[in-house]
Amino acid sequence: MSPSITHVSGTVTGDVECRFTESGLAVCRFRLTEVPSQWDAATQKRRDGTPISYVCTAWRDTARNATESLVNGVNVLLKGRITEIKDNSIYLSIDDIGVSLRQRIAYTETGLPSPAAAAPLSPPPKPQSPAPSTTQPGNPPAWWEGQRSSGWHAVGTSAAAADGSPLPVGR
């Protein structure tokens, strides 16, 4: 008779370890804690029961995917078989793992949101162009305007005098 299938909901506690057998088969192991809640009629509230510890083992693709996906603190749903009960822990051989959506959003490779999903709902305000600063590249230094307004011209350019006659160009 084969072991019965069980379903467990709990929180991953600790890191997921992944190893490979001599034949190259991936196997991962991680710990899971389930805290069942019970209804307390006296206080009219739910209260946490005694935590149940699990040691979970997954194989092949499930092991590879669990190693890449699971981190400490993630709530998961498991389907597996109880293989052993030892040292106040229940040992499970995992057939399937799912991330619980009660406290988070999960995306699949085919269901990733499009780039448009990250776009803001309203367009951002248009930035106001700053007044030209003399310290920006390409603007003349502050002393340049003073020299230019006093009638001084750069050497090597043709300029006209106040009366319109050409000024001599020095070399």
Phi/psi of residue 151, nearest 5 degrees: 100, 0
From CA 87, how far away is CA 66, in angstroms rounded? 24
From CA 64, how far away is CA 61, in angstroms rounded? 5
From CA 135, how far away is CA 142, in angstroms rounded? 9
Q: What is the tens place of the pLDDT at every residue in 129-165?
A: 665 555 566 676 666 666 666 665 555 444 555 565 5
Q: What is the tens place of the pLDDT at every residue in 41-87?
A: 898 898 988 999 999 999 999 999 999 889 999 999 999 999 999 98
> Is-contact 32 58, C-beta < 8 A?
no
From CA 61, how far away is CA 82, in angstroms rounded? 20
Q: What is the tens place of the pLDDT at every residue in 109-124?
A: 776 666 666 666 666 6
Instruction: Tell me the domain boundaries of the chain.
Output: 5-104
The CA R_g of the chain, rounded to the nearest whole Å, is: 36
**Largest separation between any pair of C-alpha atoms in the chain:** 114
Closest to 58 measured CA to CA, from 3, 95, 100, 20: 95
Reading the block at residue 3, the tokens are: 């072991």
| C-alpha torsion angle, residues 50, 52, 53, 57 (rounded to 10) | -170
pTM over 0.75: no
CATH topology of domain 5-104: OB fold (Dihydrolipoamide Acetyltransferase, E2P) (2.40.50)
